[in-house]
Amino acid sequence: MIKRLKKLKFKKAPILNTFVKKVDNMKDIKSYVAFLDKIPVRTDFINFDNDGFALNDNVPLFKGWTECLEASNEEIKVATLDGTKIYFDTADGVIIANMKNMCDKTTYNDLFAFFEGKLELN
């Protein structure tokens, strides 16, 4: 789906309303809605697999994210960008948190709304 967004010339991850304004194909809209319901995975942000091993050939979907060394350990990895952290594989699903807001059981829809259209595509 990210390739499709780039093809439509999106530079940042759009919320559903923004996507619908630019696309008039119902098939694409349904596909995007299905994508928004999925749970984000850590390889979309940082180069570590689910076991905590570094990946050399992974290209994250989103720009600027790094491993948070303060909150990560050998297996649990946390992605960080400008004071916002994403915790993967927690008991409450994926958690996004910054100094103002927090969201648990996060989907891509929640993620894109959390960043208010400022999440850059890689």
Quick one: pLDDT at residue 89? 81
Start-to-end Cα distance in the chain: 13
Quick one: pLDDT at residue 38? 94
Residue 80: burial class (beta carbons within 10 Å; 0-12, 13-18, 19+): buried
87 and 98 Cβ atoms separated by less than 8 Å: no
Spell out the domain ranges in the chain: 2-114
pLDDT by position in tens, the chain (length 122): 888 888 889 999 999 999 999 998 899 999 999 999 999 988 889 888 777 778 888 888 899 999 988 888 877 789 999 889 999 888 888 899 998 899 999 999 999 999 887 899 98
Quick one: pLDDT at residue 35? 94
